[in-house]
Structure 1
Amino acid sequence: MADERVHAYADDALGEHDAVALAALVRAGEVAPGELAAAAAARAGRVDAALAPVAFAAYGRPCGEGGSGKDAPLYGVPSYLKDNTDLRGMPTGQGSSAFRARPARRSAGFAEQFLGTGLAVLGKSRLPEFGLNASTEYAEARPVRNPWRTSHSPGASSGGAAALVASGVVPIAHANDGGGSIRIPAACCGLVGLKPTRGRMVPNAQGRRLPVDLVTDGVLTRSVRDTAAFFAAAERHHRNPALPPLGLVEGPGERRLRIGLVVDSPTAPTDAPTRAAVEETAARLAALGHDVTPVELPFGEEFSRDFILYWGYIAFLIATTGRLTVDPGFRASRLDGLTTGLRRVFHREFTRVPGVVRRLRRAEQTYAGMFRTHDVILSPVLAHVPPPIGYLSPNVAFDELLDRLTRYVAFTPVNNVTGGPGIALPVGASPEGLPIGVHLSAAHGEERALLELAFALEADRPWRRIQD
């Protein structure tokens, strides 16, 4: 395939608007939800051959169209749900060939929360098998490609959602994050991706069954205000009283913050383009009046080893309980090379799991300790720029693939284990034009600080546009 930039922007009902602007047009009667859905469906058709982002389409009968009522903040804005979340009447394929997906009989709690914001679901976006990979690639099926350069990965596991938003098919799409799966594709595709504090959203059905719940739901967007608007709308449907209310964040904050700067992970070096983007962002934040000082992450090799074994434990659960938890026709023999390799990791070291769980649970206190001296931590999202398609394919020999993944995904899992919030922002680009993201982390419940900083950085230097 030719290496090209692909987008679907056109002179149609969607135009170049973000979700907040489209919802305002719907409320004013200037456009109907059906017109927006039709425009999004046409755009999806134009990018499908190049990007392959859609797992299931329901363009003739979108779910919702603001089903919570016309007063919902994002009423009528078209979107997609990730294909690991049940929505009644749509199949949930989990990105896997190990079973045949059937229409879900009921909607997951988060799907109801998502529809409660007013978004209209046009279908499901693709993910790698059970969301375990950091690239949306498959043993046999065609991969999802990055709209900025189709020879490269869009990240994962919300890679299909990222490709849809980055290419302009829709302004906002569901994503979820069990090791970086909101923030990684945001960084790869030039988007905003906030992983909220654990417990901020309706509990994820997959994550809450685990001894350490890694998974949190959210969205990918092209503007900070769309991310802020979504979380404010979602909070109207469900608010966790154990966390500070978030409300609607509408711009930069006035408070000057203590920001800790991390350039390298204790387990992997950062490449030159990513390092430059992080250091430039640190300089910009200092120029905006914040106090930026270097810090070291208190998570090293042991944390990385523990996370890998816990990752293997999840693969083991999928493989051994799939007929009960996924589908009666589930066949573990059809799982891809990454899932089966991770399962073998668990088999080799399963006696370590109780100690791993204890240490991972204690990591929450270690994480909280970082914010006794700092308000926010700035770091890379990933240790290097998005790799070419094939580099993280599940067909790569497992030991090599695992090494590549651990050297690439060197920052984001900390927030999943500890439950802290983190946001990826599209601040830079490689010499080849691939997006580079930076990562901001804060104390539990402090999403407002992250969004206010994000607004400030976006106002200081607007994000690159794929259509320019």
Structure 2
Amino acid sequence: MSRPLFADATELAGAIRSGKLACMDAMQASIAACATHEDIGAIAYLDPEMGLAAARAMDREASELPERFAARSFVGVPTVAKDLGGPFAGLPVTAGSRLFRREGTGADSDLASRFRDAGLCAFGLSTSPEFGFSLASEPAIGPICRNPLDRTRTAGGSSGGAAAAVAAGIVAIAHATDAGGSIRVPAACCGLVGLKPTRGAVPAGPSFGNHLGGIASELAVTRSVRDTARIFTAVSGKTRGPFADILQLTVQAAPLRIGLLIDAGDRYSIANDRLQAVEAAAQHLERQGHPLVALAWAQFREAVAASTQAFGDIISVNIAGLVDDLELDIVAAETMTQAFVTRGRAMSATTLWNSLNGAVQASRSLWEIFDRVDVIIMPMLATAPPPIGSFPTDHSDTDLHLERMAAFAPLASLANVSGFPAITLPFGIDTDDLPLPVQIMAPMGKEALLLSLAANLEADGRWQHRYPIAGLAA
């Protein structure tokens, strides 16, 4: 990937690798930035000593093992893990809930080990809604995560804290997870790049297993396509499962058939500026020699409905099983979480089975569309990031909550339920100076194709980050 128009984690790593900046200096700058930007609520837990120890070890490696030091993709770059997902040793995850205490830090997940091997130095946890059940990151235990671009608005969810931290420059890259848009929605809200990988491309073990029935993926939110490409390369593959290394790392020659979806039917209302951004991105690619193929909402209607249903059913059964297995006192949870537990406990095996079969059919219908096109470009969000409080969890109407999320990001869960990779990035600015995101989806294993097209759009220069990265000069 060519150098982007703005600073990113790759540039920060380059400054550290060349000796212009010590790892310790970068870490101290990130820790200081946590205090400077405390008002956005991006950080749920901070361990400065852990970060300083990791930076100190990296600086020592620079002098004692220079070749190993130089080979790390993100050498010495500070980062935060999400307060939900595969664990990072020493960081006590609570999933944004009172049901867990900040203790029992365990061992690294496979993914966390690969983050560290890439040179990333974790020093805290980013804010997540309770159990990730929201497209806003406003857990009752706090803090409320706000969008750095407009503090009256959400930073998205459930990786909202990660996105806010990266957009504000606290860190240049942050761990994130995506079960129903939770990487892509916050990235879209905050003007970042977010990739939901192909199912199975990134390790989910050893203890994360089949969490959420395979709809969840882990990776990161970043400031640039090249950062996303580098972290995906650093952590993907060799997942000790079937077909773990089938990823196609080469991009086929142009022309590519670009499927264009800018019709959301009468179920969802997508703002004109969001649709226009998608159309502009498609036309940009058309000017590069890629023909456009118009797609109709009717081709997606049943798959989107099945994906939305499957997402709601899977998270309900999952949380009910977790609470029962661990014998948790559910009365300490938020009202919405309690309602999802009740919903999951009451769900019959037949209902869940039918929902899972619907998900299989959704995946098949997408494969049929990909017989006609190589990628699909579509809206990521229906509107600009809504105000804080737009996804309340102090009520028990799970259907209303799920509908509110689907209305905000109607095409998000399709990638999770089908297992297909999808990427979002900003392609323009609206009248409130907020990013206009687009989403591109590809067949399974085609991350390289997504990254190539995303880099092409990024190079058009329609978005510029507003906050410098801690440790790098503005």
Which bracket does the TM-score occupy, shorter chain normalised?
0.7 to 0.9
Question: 1:133-282 to 2 correspondence within 5 Å?
Answer: 133-139=134-140, 141-203=142-204, 208-210=209-211, 212-235=213-236, 242-245=244-247, 255-266=254-265, 267-282=267-282
Map of 1:441 onto structure 2: 441
Instruction: Give me the whole-angstrom Cα distance separating, in 1, the residues matched to 2:284 and 2:237.
Output: 34
Letter in 2 for 1:53: A
Shift in Å, 1:282:
1.8
Shift in Å, 1:149:
0.3
Map of 2:330 onto structure 1: 332
Map of 1:352 onto structure 2: 351
State whether structure 2 residue 10 is matched by structure 1 residue 20: yes
Letter in 2 for 1:382: L
CA contact (8 A) 2:421 2:446 kept: yes
Map of 1:364 onto structure 2: 363
Greater shift in the superposed pair: 63-72 or 173-182: 63-72
CA contact (8 A) 1:320 1:332 kept: no
**Alignment partner for residue 40 of structure 2, among 19, 38, 51?**
51
Corresponding residue pairs, total = 446
Using a 3 Å threshold, how does the CA distance of structure 1 residues 344 and 239 change in structure 2: closer, same or farther? closer
Letter in 2 for 1:47: H
State whether structure 2 residue 340 is matched by structure 1 residue 342: yes
Letter in 1 for 2:401: L
Q: Once the two structures are superposed, what CA deviation does each residue of 1:351-399 show, in whole Å capped at 9, x if it has no partner?
A: 4111111221333222222211101100011222211111112125625
Greater shift in the superposed pair: 390-399 or 216-225: 390-399
Map of 2:451 onto structure 1: 451
Map of 1:12 onto structure 2: none
TM-score (norm 2): 0.87
Greater shift in the superposed pair: 406-415 or 150-159: 406-415
Using a 3 Å threshold, how does the CA distance of structure 1 residues 173 and 306 change in structure 2: closer, same or farther? closer
Greater shift in the superposed pair: 85-94 or 260-269: 260-269
Shift in Å, 1:463:
2.2
CA contact (8 A) 1:133 1:157 kept: yes
CA contact (8 A) 2:306 2:359 kept: no
Structure 2 SS opposite 1:160: helix
Give me the CA root mean square deviation: 2.6
Map of 1:373 onto structure 2: 372
CA contact (8 A) 1:19 1:74 kept: yes
Map of 1:291 onto structure 2: 291
CA contact (8 A) 1:83 1:93 kept: yes
Using a 3 Å threshold, how does the CA distance of structure 1 residues 317 and 449 change in structure 2: closer, same or farther? closer
Letter in 1 for 2:151: T
Greater shift in the superposed pair: 98-107 or 32-41: 98-107
- The unaligned stretches of length 5 or more in structure 1 are 1-15
Map of 2:408 onto structure 1: 408
Instruction: Give me the whole-angstrom Cα distance separating, in 1, the residues matched to 2:144 and 2:169.
Output: 19
- The unaligned stretches of length 5 or more in structure 2 are 1-5, 62-67, 469-474
Instruction: Give me the whole-angstrom Cα distance separating, in 2, the residues matched to 1:302 and 1:73.
Output: 38
State whether structure 2 residue 26 is matched by structure 1 residue 36: yes
Map of 2:64 onto structure 1: none
Shift in Å, 1:212:
3.3
Using a 3 Å threshold, how does the CA distance of structure 1 residues 299 and 335 change in structure 2: closer, same or farther? farther
Using a 3 Å threshold, how does the CA distance of structure 1 residues 433 and 205 change in structure 2: closer, same or farther? farther
Percent identity reads 32
CA contact (8 A) 1:265 1:411 kept: no
Shift in Å, 1:309:
5.3
TM-score (norm 1): 0.88
Instruction: Give me the whole-angstrom Cα distance separating, in 1, the residues matched to 2:387 and 2:207.
Output: 30
Letter in 2 for 1:395: D
